[in-house]
Amino acid sequence: MPEHDWAGRWREGKIGFHEGKPNPFLERHVGVLGSKRRVLVPLCGKAEDLAFLAAQGHRVVGVEYVEQAAIAFFEEHGVKPSRAAGARFPTYSAGDVTIVVGDFYAVTRADVGEVDAFYDRAALIAVEPESRDRYVAAVRALVPPGSPGLLVTFDYPPGVEGPPHSVPQPEVRRLYGKDTLEVLSEAPGFNPRVAAAVGGGTDRAYRIVLKAST
């Protein structure tokens, strides 16, 4: 179960995290994911990034706890998704985008299928700080070693309650330091509402290549 009342936020339309267009760092760095991959998007919401990744030739599988968000994604793209019969979690697909509606910590490879890349924007930063190791372990359980990832985080001065939570560089290095990890870009926070709330902040994009855990 997510620690935060995400269903309530979706119900009440408090989704200031939703960008409504592809993330600028994704547009700039999508190449690090390679070509024609099957990309896992944890905590995907109804992000436009799902459609952008599919338009680049990838197949995409998002995992989202709130069914309303998954349904909204397809509705807003004017498509009627099919619903997988016999799946353990409601699983909606249209074109190259699938969304599994379930708790990210509960889904398995059997639920999401084989993936060979991952994209995280506003997923790690949405996780409670004490759950970050668990979150990264869940990513590793679904994404095989050798797979590329693109991680977009947000880092801001202390003293503000999240989510989003500030995820400074040393914390990303602690979580993914044994993997190949490279900062690709950084820029002042893209989301003006969030940036105003936390008094600035830095968006940062990282390339990751997962190594086998030892």
Ligand X SMILES: C[S@@+](CC[C@H](N)C(=O)[O-])C[C@H]1O[C@@H](n2cnc3c(N)ncnc32)[C@H](O)[C@@H]1O
| DSSP label of 72 | H
Using the minimum distance from each CB to ligand X, give the nearer residue, 131 or 211: 131
CA dihedral sign, ordered 81, 67, 172, 139: negative
Nearest distance in Å: CB 70, ligand X: 9
Nearest distance in Å: CB 214, ligand X: 26
The DSSP code sequence of 139-200 is HHHHS-TT-EEEEEEEE--SS---SSPP--HHHHHHHHTTSEEEEEEEEE-S-HHHHHHHTS
Using the minimum distance from each CB to ligand X, give the nearer residue, 64 or 96: 64
Q: Which residues contact 153 (CB under 8 A, 6 or more apart)?
A: 124, 125, 167, 172, 203, 204, 206
Nearest distance in Å: CB 78, ligand X: 19
Task: Name the closest residue to ligand X (Cβ).
Answer: 45
Nearest distance in Å: CB 103, ligand X: 5
Using the minimum distance from each CB to ligand X, give the nearer residue, 64 or 116: 64
Using the minimum distance from each CB to ligand X, give the nearer residue, 84 or 211: 84
Query: Amino acid letter at 3?
Result: E
Using the minimum distance from each CB to ligand X, give the nearer residue, 138 or 210: 138
For the chain, the residue count is 214
Nearest distance in Å: CB 120, ligand X: 8
The site for ligand X (CB under 6 A) is made up of: 2, 6, 17-18, 43-45, 47, 63-66, 69, 103-105, 121-123, 126, 163
Q: How many CA atoms lie within 13 A of 137 on its CB side?
A: 8
